[in-house]
Structures are given as structure tokens and as C-alpha cells.
């Protein structure tokens, strides 16, 4: 949870879209695409990555303080936006990391446009349908009681989940904005693209799929199925984390990712 225009937040314009972005560190380029929550500039996960890389973490249009043009409202738009962002980066290969909803975007980008990418890391990614038509894979965070969502989202909700009473008005506004944008992009089909599964096989990058072992939003079994669809992808669990390992176990997560980048 961050303040609006938190210190260190930067701006980035892609076409007509003004994005809030965190930039830190130097070296190889890592682009991080966030999940349900944006990360604040001082987030430990970004800080740890930035010790070994130049990290670029935009807030999706409609999230945080990023603008969302009125006719920008689908995952298709987001995929094109980030393809354009990646194309605009200096020469050299990029590591793309996506978490949860951002993992869906990262998988779409890697399947459609891998030429600028060196490695792919998916952290509890959404985006595909695995189980049968009467078994939802992904917890419906909009139609489920918030107490249940809270319990299923974190390994230790009492320690990790946001305490809304302690948040500033500005942080609550960001939270509501994030939720509105996520709802617009992910409402239906709920958090997946029925066509993506078929094309995950196109991803010809070294890929690491990481999963919070306690994730109750979408289980590790889904993660294993996801990884199995990407040729050569490795699947690993992050202990002590639920659906948001980047917030709940930033040290463990960053260590695994950096180990994957420099084996």
C-alpha cells in the first residue's frame, strides 16, 4: 500500500498514456508487471532486485496514479502497451517478471513477442483456464466476502494483509482505483484469456514459474499445470507466501529470481 505519488515514484509516457513508474538500480533490465497491488518505490522486493539490475515497474493504466484513457480497457490494450514499452527500451535483452494479473500479461507478451526478452519469471500468474467448466480456478475476489478473500490471499493474513484502518485516505483511494481497474480488465472471462493456453507453447525462453505455497486465490496445482504448458519451464514453490509473494516473502522471492538470472 502506498501513498499517492509516493516519494521516488517517477513518470513514464507511452503514446498518450501517462504512467506512474518505479525505476531503480542499474545493470541488466528487469521489467516488473504487478498484480492486484502496485508496489511502492521503496518496496523491499524492488530494492533487492535493483541491487543487481535496472528495475522498471510501471503501474498499469487505472492503477495507482497511472492514467487510463477512456477507450483503454482490455488485456489486449495492456499487452500492446507493454510491448511498446519493451520496444522503447535501450538495446539488450530484458527479463520480464509478472505477478498474478501481471503474470498473465507477461505470459501474453512472451507468447506473442519474445524477441526482446531474455528470461521470463511468472509469480502466481493468472490468465488461463485449467479445470472443468464448473470448477473455478481463480478465487472470485469481487463476488466473495472480503474476509474470505483476505484469508485466502496471504500465508499469514494477520501479519501480511493490509490494515485498512491504518491506511491514509490517499492510500485507500489508490486501493479503490486498483480494484476498479482490475475489475474492468479481468471481470469476464474472469482473469483468463480462453485463447492463451494454446499459445503458451510458443514461449521459447528460459522460464521460471514461482508460486506462493499457501496461495488460496489460485493453487499451486494450477501453477504446475501452467508451467507444464511452457516448454522447459521450471516450477518452484515459495514457502510462507500466499498469492502475493512479492509482498509477503520479498527476500525469498528476490533470491530465487536472482539465482535464476545468474545461475
Q: Which of 155, 175, 197, 244 binds another protein (CB under 8 A)?
A: 175
**Of the two residues 5 and 228, which places its CB atom closer to another protein in the complex?**
5
Beta-sheet strand order (sheet of 54-58) = 10-14, 17-24, 54-58, 29-33, 94-99, 117-123, 207-212, 234-238
Decide: is 197 part of the binding site for another protein (CB under 8 A): no
The pattern of x and - marking residues 37 through 76 that bind another protein according to CB under 8 A reads ------------------------------------x---
Decide: is 144 part of the binding site for another protein (CB under 8 A): yes
Of the candidate spans 104-112, 177-185, 231-239, 242-250, the one that interacts with another protein by CB under 8 A turns out to be 177-185
**Of the two residues 160 and 173, which places its CB atom closer to another protein in the complex?**
173
Strand pairing partners for 235?
209
DSSP code at position 244: -
Of the candidate spans 41-49, 84-92, 163-171, 237-245, the one that interacts with another protein by CB under 8 A turns out to be 163-171
- Report 124-143 residues binding another protein (CB under 8 A): 142-143
| CA dihedral of residues 212, 214, 230, 83 (deg, nearest 10) | -50
Q: Which of 91, 134, 135, 145 binds another protein (CB under 8 A)?
A: 145
Q: Assign 20 to helix, strand or coil.
A: strand
Q: Which of 16, 158, 169, 262 binds another protein (CB under 8 A)?
A: 169
Residue burial 8-36, b: 16+ Cβ < 10 Å; e: rest: ebeebebeebbbbbbbbbeebbbbbbbbb
Residues 6+ apart with CB under 8 A from 167: 1, 175
CB of 186 to another protein, least distance (A): 9
Distance CA 1, CA 21 (A): 15
Instruction: Give the closest residue to 101 by CA, choosing from 45, 48, 153, 159.
Output: 153
Of the candidate spans 20-28, 112-120, 174-182, 203-211, the one that interacts with another protein by CB under 8 A turns out to be 174-182
Decide: is 161 part of the binding site for another protein (CB under 8 A): no
Which residues of the chain form contacts with another protein (CB under 8 A)? 73, 142-146, 164-165, 167, 169, 171-177, 179-180, 182-184, 187-188
Amino acid at each position: 500500500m502506498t501513498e499517492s505519488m509516493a516519494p521516488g515514484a517517477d513518470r513514464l509516457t507511452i503514446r498518450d498514456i501517462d504512467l506512474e513508474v518505479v525505476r531503480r538500480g542499474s545493470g541488466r533490465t528487469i521489467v516488473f508487471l504487478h498484480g492486484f497491488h502496485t508496489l511502492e518505490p521503496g518496496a523491499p522486493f524492488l530494492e533487492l532486485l535493483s541491487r543487481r539490475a535496472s528495475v522498471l515497474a510501471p503501474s498499469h493504466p487505472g492503477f495507482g496514479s497511472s492514467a487510463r484513457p477512456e477507450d483503454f480497457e482490455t488485456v489486449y490494450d495492456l499487452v500492446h502497451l507493454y510491448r511498446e514499452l519493451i520496444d522503447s527500451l535501450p538495446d539488450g535483452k530484458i527479463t520480464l517478471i509478472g505477478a498474478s494479473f501481471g503474470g498473465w500479461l507477461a505470459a501474453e507478451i512472451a507468447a506473442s513477442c519474445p524477441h526482446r526478452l531474455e528470461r521470463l519469471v511468472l509469480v502466481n500468474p493468472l490468465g488461463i483456464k485449467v479445470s472443468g467448466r464448473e470448477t473455478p480456478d481463480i478465487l472470485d475476489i469481487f463476488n466473495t466476502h472480503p474476509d474470505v478473500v483476505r484469508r485466502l490471499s496471504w500465508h499469514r493474513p494477520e501479519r501480511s494483509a493490509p490494515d485498512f484502518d491504518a491506511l491514509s485516505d490517499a492510500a485507500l483511494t489508490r486501493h479503490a482505483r486498483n480494484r476498479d481497474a482490475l475489475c474492468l480488465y479481468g471481470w469476464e472471462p474472469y482473469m483468463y484469456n480462453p485463447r492463451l493456453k494454446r499459445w503458451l507453447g510458443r514461449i521459447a525462453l528460459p522460464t521460471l514459474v514461482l508460486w506462493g505455497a499457501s496461495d488460496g486465490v489460485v493453487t499451486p496445482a494450477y501453477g504446475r499445470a501452467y508451467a507444464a504448458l511452457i516448454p522447459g519451464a521450471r516450477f518452484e514453490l515459495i514457502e510462507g507466501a500466499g498469492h502475493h509473494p512479492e509482498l509477503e516473502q520479498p527476500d525469498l522471492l528476490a533470491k530465487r529470481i536472482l539465482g535464476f538470472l545468474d545461475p
